[in-house]
Structure 1
Amino acid sequence: MANIKSAKKRILKSEKKRKNNIRYRSMLKTFIKKVNNAIFNKNIKLSKKNFKIMQSIIDKQVQKKLIHKNKASRYKSRLFNKILHLN
């Protein structure tokens, strides 16, 4: 356990940041699943709607450096290609 005040504060801050990161990653996984489920059910309208929301979530996470930009573009391109092949 830390004895210095700044070290204690740093521990609290990093724990708070870790919980937020978990929340954002979970949100991303949830929306990826929503898009995949809509694609599986061949619901084009819902899949496009969820994809648009997921795209903004991914872009925000790239800005916060939670996920790598190449990983983000890979997610987006794979799901977009699945949506295109629904037609």
Structure 2
Amino acid sequence: MPNIKSAVKRVKTIEKRRALNASQKSALRTAVKAADQAVVATDVDAAQAALINATKKLDKAVTKGLIHKNAAARKKSRLAKKLNALSAQA
């Protein structure tokens, strides 16, 4: 445990930040997984809605510094590719 007052404050703020980041990252993973499952279920309308939600969360995560912009772009691209393949089949 730190002895210096500023170090004690940093520990508190870092813990708050870590908890917030963890919850946001969890919500992001849930949204991406929901989009994937909607594609697997071959429900085009639900998949489109889930893709929009996942895209929003990915973009937000990039601006917050949770994930790298290329990682977000890769995930969005893969989800869109799956949705486009599903739409072509229907």
Counterpart AA for 2:71: K
Q: CA deviation at 1:64?
A: 1.1
Q: CA RMSD of the aligned region, Å? A: 0.6
The 5 A counterparts of 1:1-87 are 1-87=1-87
Unaligned runs of 5+ in 1: none
Which 4+ residue blocks in structure 1 deviate beyond 3 angstroms? none
Scaled by the length of structure 1, the TM-score of the pair is: 0.97
Q: CA deviation at 1:5?
A: 1.1
Q: CA deviation at 1:4?
A: 1.1
| Mapped partners of 1:32, 1:17: distance in 2 | 22
Q: How many percent identity over aligned positions?
A: 39
